[in-house]
Amino acid sequence: MPRLNYHHLYYFWRVAKHGNLTATAEQLALSQSALSAQINQLEHSIGQPLFSREGRRLVLTELGQRVLVYAEDIFRRGEELQQLLTRGATTVPTLRLGVLSSMSRNFIESFIEPLMDKTKQGSALKFRLVARPQNELLELLAQHQIDIVLTNREVTSYADIAWQTQLLTRQAVSVIAPAELAHLPAQMDASYTQQKWVVPSVTSPVRTAFDSFCTQHNFEPEIIAEADDMAMLRLLARDSGALTVMPEVVVRDELISGLLSKRFALPNAFENFYAVTLTRKFGHPLLPELLHFWLTNDTVSEASCTPNSPM
């Protein structure tokens, strides 16, 4: 493949952001045919189309969508460099946080609370949340498309990538009951064998802990539903009338309101929350401060006592 022409990439980026070739050509003071030729040259050098036509509309192909992600980062960084060269200083770049799509939204909100406090105090800080499966998040991190990954699953080592994994905090895994089952005792007994259960999917560390607990007590629960997403598990806990197993942080508002109640914690069962980063020469300037805050404060425990926090 020939060396990438960033002039052509810039024109692609402008058209992709606007979605209209004619209007973009007018903004760039180019003829439509000249702009189209620039993009055609980029597609020719790549060897694949970046746009497809649907009537009069230009629609990004799957490859075009991936190229746009890179182009966004390239030209945003270019704008920061321009500010540095012209004014001698640069604005703080957007902090890009990758979050595991199945994680508790309450935990994610707790993690970004220091960032929201800064914005409330007038800081020009900006941040972006990207929810994906873990393998996609790690790929984005390796490609410098995000600055940090938040996950509740252990990270598998790669032969050529040294992930920097830090345990932020951990939450006890508890049996959670709807209001109509709040009379159940605060310890496992025969009354629990008569109940229905909603539990995480078999791929979840929380489910592994629950299965181990059941084995120890020679107990076969009547499982009526499984969910691999903590936000969905929260809704099922609230509306199904069944017992559930999860960290308290997932349903902190419902516990405070009395809609749900904690019956007991599973012995020696925890959900771990990790921050995954890569060592970089020019990392995001706010990342060390944010991680230090989390590693020196029991933030989740404090957050779990805060009502009316959206999932």
| C-alpha closest to that of 195 among 232, 237, 229 | 237
Give the torsion through C-alpha atoms of 227, 231, 235, 240, to 10 deg: 20
pLDDT digits (tens, 9 = 90+) for 124-151: 788 889 999 988 898 888 877 889 999 9
Measured between alpha carbons, how far is 121 from 91 in angstroms, rounded to an integer? 17
**pTM beyond cutoff 0.85:** no
Residue 83 confidence (pLDDT): 62
Confidence of residue 16 (pLDDT cuts 50, 70, 90): confident
Helix and strand element counts for the chain (H, E): 11, 10
Q: Mean pLDDT, the chain, as a whole number? A: 84
Long-range contacts from 254-260, C-beta under 8 angstroms, 24+ separation? 255/176, 255/304, 256/305, 256/307, 257/307, 258/179, 259/178, 259/179, 260/176, 260/177, 260/178, 260/179
Q: Indicate the pLDDT class of residue 224, thresholds 50, 70 and 90.
A: very high
Evaluate if residue 211 carries a pLDDT over 90.
yes
Token reading at 262: 């904690």
CATH 1.10.3720.10 fits 95-167+275-303, yes or no: no
Residue pLDDT, tens place only, 147-184: 999 998 888 766 567 788 999 988 899 999 999 999 99
Name the token pair of 63.
Answer: 């490859």
As a CATH number, domain 6-87 is 1.10.10.10
Which pLDDT does position 159 carry in this prediction?
56
Strands 95-100 and 127-132: parallel
- C-alpha separations of 152 from 38, 229, 270 in Å: 45, 12, 10
Fold agreement between 95-167+275-303 and 170-272: yes
If one counts every other C-beta atom within 10 angstroms of the C-beta of residue 221, the result is 19
Q: What is the pLDDT of residues 254-263, one digit of tens each?
A: 999 999 999 9
Taking the C-alpha atoms of residue 81 and residue 93, their distance in angstroms, rounded to an integer, is: 11
Q: Is the pLDDT of residue 303 over 60?
A: no
Coil/strand/helix, residue 186: coil
Q: What are phi and psi of 166, to 5 degrees?
A: -125, 130
Domain ranges of the chain: 6-87, 95-167+275-303, 170-272
Question: What dotted CATH number matches 170-272?
Answer: 3.40.190.290
- CA dist 195 and 218 (Å) reads 15
